[in-house]
Amino acid sequence: MSQGFVDIDWAGRPVRVEHAWVGEGATTLVFLHEGLGSVSMWRDFPARLCAALGCRGLVYSRPGYGRSTPRAAGERWDPDFMHRQAHEVLPALLQALGVQAPYALFGHSDGGSIALLHAARWPARVSRCVVLAPHILVEDLSIASIEKARAAYETTDLRQRLARHHDDPDSAFRGWNDIWLDARFRGWNIAAEIGTIACPLLAVQGLDDEYGTLAQIRGIRERVPQTQLLELPACGHSPHRDQPERLIAAVGAFFQHHHPETTP
């Protein structure tokens, strides 16, 4: 794994983005982490997947996470925070690193939603898209689990555990947790926006996911008919941790079937 930092301009201020390259190949696969994720929290999964696919992987920590620039003191994210990541941060990062279209996306949870929003905005740039436990709307189950996460952060060693992966764990946790539990966020819904996605799409959900139901990925297929669903029994919110071998095999078959030259 080759790790480093790159500076981008975001909303008129410089932001340092932690990133890493894994694997080799003609296709670039961009990994977008979950709401509490970072480069290091993916562990070895990107390298394993890219080795199986024969592609190059770009893994990065969004601003506010990992070793990237943390949130400014007192900064609170707004309900459009995932839109801004998809429409502003990711394009700036790809440009700074010289990543040319077409590229593929692999997103988990909030990162899956960001992948969907990016692919919908620039359908010609994305060759294939894989999303794990993505959100297209806010469910009561999600809010209940995020409330439990807040309690755990305040009463257990969760903050110390997150500090292994984030220079500023409060930036990562509060940025994600505060906006998801903000009353303004309850109406967040991107179902109407994703219908412009043109690339092949694989949407994966664990049947034991504590942060979302099958309504999420089935709702994606209603809007994006070419979506292939993978519903995994005995699997929670993180298929790449709970069932990595099955997931790698499924993504491998998906990539093999959908070569870039056959992308609709």
Topology annotation, domain 2-262: Rossmann fold (3.40.50)
CB 90 within 8 A of CB 63: no
Q: How many residues does the chain have?
A: 264
Give whole-number Cα distances, 10 to 19, 75, 89, 157, 173, in Å.
16, 14, 7, 33, 21
- For the stretch 248-264, pLDDT in tens is 999 999 999 887 543 33
pTM of the model: 0.97
- For the stretch 220-238, pLDDT in tens is 999 999 999 999 999 999 9
- For the stretch 161-196, pLDDT in tens is 999 999 999 999 999 999 999 999 999 999 999 999
The H or E element spanning position 5 is: strand 2-10
Reply yes or no on whether the pLDDT at 123 is more than 90: yes
Q: What's at 98, amino acid-wise?
A: G
* DSSP assignment letter at 45: H
